[in-house]
Amino acid sequence: MRPSFAVEESLVALGHNMKVARLKRRLPQNILAERAGVSLSTLCKIENGNGGVAIASYAAVLLALDLGTPFAEIGRSDPLSLALETETLPKRIRKSGK
């Protein structure tokens, strides 16, 4: 299944930003790939925003660029979650028997 246009656009922007970060640090692709523990072809795919690359590879390259692990922050500041009280949420949702 192909991702939505918004997802593809986001990945292309992320890949471009990662490439710019690499160039600003004057890191050749082969050195960054080695530091991130990914192949050179995987790094090229990431920089092109390929959606078929594992999220762990994106995270490894971000970490190798000293950009931290931003995935850990996703969902923490979710406005809907903050609006809802965690204690009042059910522990699990059961399927109705209808």
* Helix pair angle (5-24, 40-47), 10° resolution: 120
- Per residue of the chain (98 residues), give pLDDT as tens: 787 999 999 999 999 999 999 999 999 999 999 999 999 999 999 999 999 999 999 999 999 999 987 777 777 777 777 666 665 666 777 777 66
Cβ-Cβ contacts under 8 Å for 71 (sequence gap 6 or more): 55, 59
The number of residues making up the chain comes to 98
pLDDT value at position 45?
Answer: 98
pTM: 0.76
pLDDT value at position 77?
Answer: 72
| Residue type at position 49 | G
